[in-house]
Amino acid sequence: MNGEEYQAVVYNSARDGNLRRLRIFLEDRTKDWLDKCFCGSSRKTPPIVIAARNGHLEVVRYLLLKGADVSATGTVSFDGEVIPHAPALWAAAAAGNLDIVKCLVEEGHADINQTTDTHSSPLRGACYDGHLDVVKYLVERGADFELANQHGHTPLMIAAFRKHHFVVKYLLSQGADPLKASERGNTALHDAAEAGSVPITRLLLDSGAVNVPDDANVTPLKCAAMSGNEEVIRLFEPIVDSQQMREALKLYGATLVDKKMDLGAATKIWEEAMNYGKPLSERKPEAAYGNLLEIDSLSEIRDIVGDPDSIRSQALIIRERILGRSHPETHYFIRYRGAVYCDLGQLHRCFTLWLHAVELQQSSLCPLHTSIISTITSFMDTFMATVNDGIISGNADVSQEMCYMLRDQICELLNCVVHELQRFKDLTEKVKVESGEEVDVKHSPEFLLQSCLQLVLLKFVIEEEERLGAGKSSRSCESDFKLRRYYKLIRLSPEEEKGDLSNSFPMKDWKCHPFAGSLLKTLQICKALSLHPLHTACRDINKPITSRFPSADVIGCLIKAGADVNELNESGETALHTLLLGEKPRQSVARLLLENGANLFARTKNDETCLLLLQKKLRNTIGHLKVGELTS
């Protein structure tokens, strides 16, 4: 048997520190056998790495004696976080195993600056958990204390963020630069202030650190305010001007409202802030916050004392102005406050804030950013839950409230979703995201298309509820006629499909018919992105009853707007194929497609025609289907 077949047993023995068992399997083996045993697969963690991680000194020494590669890398875990491609020295340093660190450096001649695939050095690994003895040894042996990871984050920064005072003090004594900034512009002082470490913040300030903004225009003082660290805020008072102090205290008050839930303390801090700097030269109302103006005087603050709702709105207003409309915390707390309103049953306020959050995210983040998709997902889930609560439960009061409240918001969200698809379509270069964040270019466009169609369906459901509430038993013929006439008016010609949709008909028609306009724009974008809305509308989607597909209403709407019933998707299937390949195809939907020209003899890649699938799935009803046009 070759060495590869013993990898598991050797790894387990090294992991558990079982030197006796290792000797049994590794003694009297050839170099080639040992090499295959230690490094036979790139997917496996070498025994020397796991032994170094777990602190088994004698095992590490024995493996070195047997020729284990000291530079080999593997996967280790710390506090539930998986670290891939970690060298043995990094694993030992991060675990604080000083004896093993010495062994690897002095006996194994390990590269003292060998990093993980994220460019984290052994010194940075030791700084993370504050292993001062390891830090000192590595620095004394020549470790580069300015060697940063892939984000430009240095050992000094991680030690400051993790609040390891003595490690920070030692690194500074060895010449570590307190002014060095990461790729995003933050310094060790930002990290210390955010972490709330008074002694480290003081130490860094005494060592020459300054209150400079990062790339998001956030200073260490603002970091302390955002994190709610009042003692740290006070440390900056002697070194910043009064206007900066005023802003920091106002931001700190917003933190007290949303993070600490202490509204009384927040108003007191806001009152104190009025003692610094000057009032704002200009204040603009924001509709999302009820057109309130930001508080900026003692009298205005006293007017909102005892009004929790106004205090919470002020926290959002202050944060958005000071941190900016593009800052993640601005977006997060708008969404958070909206979720609180949702839980309290104040859905209109919830949706108003969430729409504002989507608009801010779309103005600052790349198309399909995970934060945008997350906000839209929350919107969709809440919309569907609200509609179901009103209709499925039979609660008439909830149903009527839902109709009046959701009608406009659904159209607004539909516009936002279509705009997100448009942003992605217009992108001329690869989607850019912050390092470490993912954009799902494959699935997110399909999710957005599905969201568009679900919103269309919800709009139909709500309009039906409004009609029933008005005493009408079915959909108005006059309303349906107007919709058909409008689609006929603005249906895209082949030439218009290639151009600017907004020029296809007067702008006033867009404003009068935002629902139809958004749907037509969706079709144009889908054509450019090779998405297939009719196929999506015909696909089985296990959603709440009011948002379940296939939907004859949505399919009919798409057909009226110009969707091609015989368009083929990537699998070579028509929309009728997609319907019939579902678990329980609906006869009404099949009839609708056939009456609008779906080809019965279109074939799948498996050479199955729609006619054959109809015979299999809808055998008992095929005789009742009316076929509009048959082509071979």
Q: What are 348-389's pLDDT values in tens digits?
A: 899 999 999 999 999 999 999 999 999 999 988 888 887 776
Residues 544 and 490 in one domain: yes
Residues 510 and 610 in one domain: no
Compute φ and ψ for 7, nearest 5 degrees: -60, -45
Residues 417 and 510 in one domain: yes
Q: Which of 546, 563, 580 is at the close of a domain?
A: 563
In this prediction, residue 314 carries a pLDDT of 98
The contacts of residue 49 (CB under 8 Å, 6+ apart) are 72, 73, 74, 76, 86, 87, 88, 91
Which single residue is written with the structure tokens 């108005």?
Answer: 476
In 3-state terms, what secondary structure has residue 388?
Answer: helix
pTM: 0.85
Residues 495 and 421 in one domain: yes
> Of 328, 317, 281, whose CA–CA distance to 433 is shortest?
328
Give the Cα separation of 135 and 124 in Å (integer): 8
Residue 55 lies in a domain: no
> Of 539, 552, 621, whose CA–CA distance to 583 is shortest?
539
Residue 52 tokens read as 């170094």
Residues 505 and 556 in one domain: yes
Q: Which of 528, 563, 598 is at the close of a domain?
A: 563
Which DSSP helix (H) or strand (E) runs through 49? helix 47-54
pLDDT at 281 over 90: yes
Residue 348 lies in a domain: no
- Alpha helix positions (H), 514-631: 514-529, 533-538, 552-560, 575-580, 587-595, 610-617
Give the Cα separation of 155 and 182 in Å (integer): 11
pLDDT at 628 over 80: no
- The answer, yes or no, to whether the previous bond of 550 is cis (omega within 30 of 0) is yes
Residues 474 and 578 in one domain: no
In this prediction, residue 498 carries a pLDDT of 46
In this prediction, residue 499 carries a pLDDT of 42
In this prediction, residue 549 carries a pLDDT of 84
How are the residues of the chain apportioned to helix, strand and coil, as percentages rounded to the nearest 5? 60, 5, 35
Residue 333 lies in a domain: no
Give the Cα separation of 451 and 442 in Å (integer): 15
Residue 330 tokens read as 């601005």
pLDDT at 218 over 50: yes
Residues 538 and 604 in one domain: no
Residue 597 lies in a domain: yes
Residues 518 and 528 in one domain: yes
What angle in degrees, to the nearest 10, is found between the helix axes of 132-140 and 165-173?
Answer: 20
Rounded to a whole number of angstroms, the CA Rg of the chain reads: 32
Range ranked top by mean pLDDT from 102-116, 388-402, 612-626: 102-116
- pLDDT higher for 235 or 582? 235
Residue 303 lies in a domain: no
Residues 557 and 425 in one domain: yes
> Of 388, 551, 368, 319, whose CA–CA distance to 454 is shortest?
551
- Domain span at 559: 405-563
Residue 337 lies in a domain: no
How many CB atoms sit inside 10 A of residue 260's CB? 12
Residues 554 and 473 in one domain: yes
- Decide: 138 and 122 in contact? Cβ < 8 Å: yes
Question: Mean pLDDT over residues 146-173, rounded?
Answer: 97
In 3-state terms, what secondary structure has residue 76?
Answer: strand
Residue 151 tokens read as 């984000």
pLDDT at 149 over 60: yes
In this prediction, residue 58 carries a pLDDT of 96
In 3-state terms, what secondary structure has residue 541?
Answer: strand
What DSSP letter does each residue of 112-157 carry, written as one string?
TT---TT---HHHHHHHTT-HHHHHHHHHTT--TT---TTS--HHH
Confidence of residue 411 (pLDDT cuts 50, 70, 90): confident
Q: What are 505-555's pLDDT values in tens digits?
A: 333 443 345 567 788 888 899 999 999 999 999 988 766 555 678 888 889
In the chain, how many domains are there? 2
Question: Mean pLDDT over residues 260-283, rounded?
Answer: 96
- pLDDT higher for 515 or 197? 197
In this prediction, residue 270 carries a pLDDT of 98
Alpha carbon distances (Å) from 95 to 74, 124, 238, 482: 15, 12, 40, 71
Give the Cα separation of 517 and 546 in Å (integer): 23
Residue 211 lies in a domain: no
Q: To the nearest whole percent, how much of the chain has pLDDT over 70? A: 83
Question: Mean pLDDT over residues 312-322, rounded?
Answer: 98
